[in-house]
Amino acid sequence: MLVAERHEKITALVNEKGSIRVSELSQIFKVTEETIRRDLEKLENEGKLQRSHGGAVSIKEQDIEAPYFEREIRNVKEKMVVAEEAIKFVSTNDRIILDASTTAWYMAKRLPDLPLTVLTNSMKVAMKLANREKYLSLQ
């Protein structure tokens, strides 16, 4: 295996697993731990990973969730469709749970004013439903 090919595979493994140990890479590629350490040093200098004691960690950005205000305006039509469909299953005096998702907020905006118990962990959902006259309780 060529050195460049090994470097590519090391980078892919680190990004896939998030982190990996020198000893594990040494076994996978059947080279000495010293060779792996040199590889990791080179890859770190190229900005492809970050060395850590005994191994390497990925510098690839984790899938960080976008802020609420950004998610609120993404895929609005689809969220409205989901909210409208979910509302069809809500009846008078039901007990429902609405989480802190933006889709749940769209559902809260569209819920008809009828007696319900709504359990939520979302301040936005709670604020949207707080002024309804017929709600039994908001928890």
Q: What value does the mean pLDDT of the chain take?
A: 90
The answer regarding whether domain 3-57 maps to CATH 1.10.287.40 reads no
**What would the two tokens of residue 89 be?**
């299953």
For the cut 80, the answer to whether the pLDDT of residue 134 exceeds it is no
Global confidence as pTM: 0.54
Long-range contacts from 87-94, C-beta under 8 angstroms, 24+ separation: 87/111, 87/112, 90/114, 90/116, 92/116, 93/117, 93/136
At residue 72 the predicted structure's pLDDT band, cuts being 50, 70 and 90, is confident
For the cut 70, the answer to whether the pLDDT of residue 80 exceeds it is yes
Contact in structure between 59 and 49 (CB atoms under 8 Å): yes
For the cut 60, the answer to whether the pLDDT of residue 136 exceeds it is no
Domain ranges of the chain: 3-57, 88-138
At residue 37 the predicted structure's pLDDT band, cuts being 50, 70 and 90, is very high
pLDDT for the residue 57? 94
pLDDT for the residue 67? 83
